């Protein structure tokens, strides 16, 4: 009897082990075929940014990456392999190989490589050197291999605008120029609008924050450029010259004589003019852009009378690109931010949400390319100081990519960490209030109440 029970127990245990082993094998198989990767790093450095994924997925020809490493630096080799694995999984057109520099001198000599952590990328007989085998460098090289036509972004700078050659922290646009060059755009400056018109090589023209009036004839030349299928990014600040406002009215757009304020959603430690812009038109950008921060913005509204005369009436379609929050409002006045505490004036100001960015598209064109304008009510959001605030860089680069008709680059990029390994945290005043109450009142209060209750229960039991 006991022997039969032992046999039964052994058989049952064997069956259980078989079932558990089979389940584990199935889980491993599912994990191998349907693996999920979670990247909890502050800048998502262990996964490809959406822009890099788009560039990899659009490849139509095979690409091979050769990366050189030092066998004595295993961590460095593993980091390069992880990055290359991500690209290979993103596109079946990408293959790679890792080569020990010290053991393959002939191959290194062939490619002109003399240091580790570098490499080359090859496609259809074309070779580009990778100065560093990382995501940004690989994406840049793929763009240069796939973008055969020159694309130039021309900045007008003769009216006090931001310049891509200026490295000043608050006024300069040198950082956005570097970002454009990494994404295979050329940048150049036009001191004024030439008398013979915008050069034909300008894919996109940027008018970023004019503070002086146009010279005679410049506005007409810029209008001719647009009517000929031109693409214009116009950033107009509160208090801009009347000539800039009048120019935009030609296209059915009326910049408001106001400053958009948001007392509830302002960044902690800033005033209400530091505007959080939470909503961007997904139907236009075809992706979810992160919240941007406009340091000082005005509304951009469709004009009641589209165009400045009957000849332009009905020619343009206007859609909102960016909206302020529900709690914001437009402080109507002379375009200057108010001093001290501000309150919404019911009969004067305009409640949010409010458009602070629009896109104007011609309904028809004789040139084969529809003229378009992207207009924002602030230019400082793309300055060297503000570019890395939240989603500012993505908004600026995606707007230019939209005008350049390059949907691959309308995407979210990795956030940089300008202060070493410290990750910036952006809190609004309302979020700061919530954090304060939870950390200093709710959590300590819960522990205190729990302690009091526990002490009362113990004393009650001890008195029995």
- The domains of the chain, with CATH numbers, are 50-146 (3.40.30.10), 152-409 (3.40.50)
* Rounded Cα distance, 438 and 442, in Å: 5
Query: Residue 68's closest CA among 33, 103, 35, 43?
Result: 103
Tokens at 350, concatenated: 């305009």
Tokens at 133, concatenated: 């085998």
What is the pLDDT, as a whole number, of residue 447?
A: 78
Predicted confidence band of residue 402 (pLDDT cuts 50, 70, 90) = very high
Q: Average pLDDT for residues 25-37, to the nearest whole number?
A: 75
Predicted confidence band of residue 41 (pLDDT cuts 50, 70, 90) = low
What is the pLDDT, as a whole number, of residue 8?
A: 78
Residue 454 CA to its chain's centroid (Å)? 51
What is the pLDDT, as a whole number, of residue 436?
A: 62
For residues 146 and 366, is the Cβ–Cβ distance under 8 A? no
Q: Which residue has the tokens 């580009």?
A: 128
Tokens at 434, concatenated: 């919530």
What is the pLDDT, as a whole number, of residue 364?
A: 76
Whole-angstrom CA distances from 421 to 21, 43, 166, 385 are 43, 10, 27, 19
**Does the structure show a pLDDT above 80 at 211?**
yes
What is the pLDDT, as a whole number, of residue 13?
A: 84
For 40-52, b/e burial (b = at least 16 CB within 10 A) is: eeeeeeeebbbbb
Query: Residue 150's closest CA among 194, 173, 100, 184?
Result: 184
For residues 189 and 157, is the Cβ–Cβ distance under 8 A? yes
Q: Average pLDDT for residues 302-320, to the nearest whole number?
A: 67
Q: Which residue has the tokens 């082993």?
A: 21
DSSP state of 337: P
**Does the structure show a pLDDT above 90 at 459?**
no
**Does the structure show a pLDDT above 90 at 189?**
yes
Using only C-alpha atoms, the chain has a radius of gyration, in whole angstroms, of 29
* Rounded Cα distance, 106 and 116, in Å: 15
3-state secondary structure at position 30: helix
**Does the structure show a pLDDT above 60 at 249?**
yes
What is the pLDDT, as a whole number, of residue 403?
A: 96
Tokens at 240, concatenated: 């801009």
User: For residues 177 and 13, which has the higher predicted lDDT (pLDDT)?
Assistant: 177
Supply angle C-alpha 187, 401, 286, rounded to 5: 165
* Rounded Cα distance, 204 and 183, in Å: 14
* Rounded Cα distance, 138 and 91, in Å: 13
For residues 391 and 412, is the Cβ–Cβ distance under 8 A? yes
What is the pLDDT, as a whole number, of residue 255?
A: 95
Query: Residue 104's closest CA among 94, 116, 121?
Result: 116
What is the pLDDT, as a whole number, of residue 464?
A: 67
Supply angle C-alpha 415, 419, 421, rounded to 5: 75
3-state secondary structure at position 68: strand
What is the pLDDT, as a whole number, of residue 309?
A: 45
What is the pLDDT, as a whole number, of residue 421?
A: 42
**Does the structure show a pLDDT above 80 at 2?**
no
For residues 181 and 221, is the Cβ–Cβ distance under 8 A? no
**Does the structure show a pLDDT above 70 at 124?**
yes
Predicted confidence band of residue 386 (pLDDT cuts 50, 70, 90) = very high
Tokens at 279, concatenated: 């909503």
- Find all residues with CB under 8 Å of 173, minimum gap 6, and list them: 155, 162, 163, 164, 166, 208, 382, 383, 384
């Amino acid at each position: 009897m006991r022997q039969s029970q032992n046999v039964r127990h052994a058989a049952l245990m064997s069956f259980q082990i078989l079932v558990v082993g089979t389940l584990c094998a199935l889980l491993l198989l599912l994990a191998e075929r349907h693996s999920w990767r979670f990247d909890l790093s502050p800048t998502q450095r262990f996964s490809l940014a959406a822009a890099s994924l788009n560039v990899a997925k659009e490849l139509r020809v095979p690409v091979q990456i050769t990366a050189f490493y030092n066998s004595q630096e295993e961590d460095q080799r593993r980091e390069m392999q992880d990055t290359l694995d991500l690209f290979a999984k993103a596109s079946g057109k990408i293959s790679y190989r890792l080569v020990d520099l010290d053991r393959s001198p002939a191959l290194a000599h062939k490619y002109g490589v003399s240091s580790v952590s570098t490499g080359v990328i090859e496609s259809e007989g074309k070779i580009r050197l990778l100065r560093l085998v990382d995501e940004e460098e690989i994406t840049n090289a793929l763009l240069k291999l796939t973008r055969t036509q020159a694309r130039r972004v021309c900045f007008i700078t003769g009216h006090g605008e931001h310049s891509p050659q200026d490295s000043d922290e608050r006024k300069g646009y040198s950082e956005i120029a570097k970002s454009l060059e990494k994404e295979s755009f050329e940048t150049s400056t036009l001191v004024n609008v030439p008398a013979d018109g915008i050069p034909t090589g300008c894919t996109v023209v940027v008018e970023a924050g004019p503070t002086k009036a146009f010279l005679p004839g410049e506005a007409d030349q810029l209008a001719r450029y647009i009517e000929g299928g031109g693409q214009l990014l116009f950033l107009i600040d509160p208090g801009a010259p009347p000539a800039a406002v009048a120019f935009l009215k030609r296209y059915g757009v009326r910049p408001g004589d106001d400053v958009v304020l948001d007392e509830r959603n302002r960044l902690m430690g800033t005033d209400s003019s530091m505007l959080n812009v939470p909503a961007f038109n997904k139907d236009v950008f075809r992706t979810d852009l992160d919240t941007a921060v406009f340091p000082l913005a005005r509304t951009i509204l469709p004009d009641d009378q589209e165009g400045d005369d009957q000849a332009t009436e009905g020619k343009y379609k206007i859609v909102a690109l960016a909206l302020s929050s529900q709690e914001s409002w437009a402080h109507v006045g002379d375009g200057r931010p108010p001093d001290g505490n501000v309150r919404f004036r019911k009969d004067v100001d305009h409640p949010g949400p409010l458009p602070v960015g629009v896109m104007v598209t011609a309904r028809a064109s004789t040139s084969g390319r529809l003229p378009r304008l992207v207009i924002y009510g602030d230019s400082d959001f793309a300055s060297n100081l503000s570019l890395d605030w939240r989603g500012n860089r993505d908004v600026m680069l995606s707007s230019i990519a939209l005008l350049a008709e390059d949907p691959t680059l309308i995407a979210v990029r990795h956030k940089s960490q300008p202060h070493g390994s410290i990750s910036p945290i952006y809190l609004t005043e309302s979020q700061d209030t919530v954090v304060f109450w939870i950390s200093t009142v709710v959590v300590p209060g819960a522990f205190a109440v729990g302690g009091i209750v526990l002490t009362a229960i113990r004393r009650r039991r001890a008195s029995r």
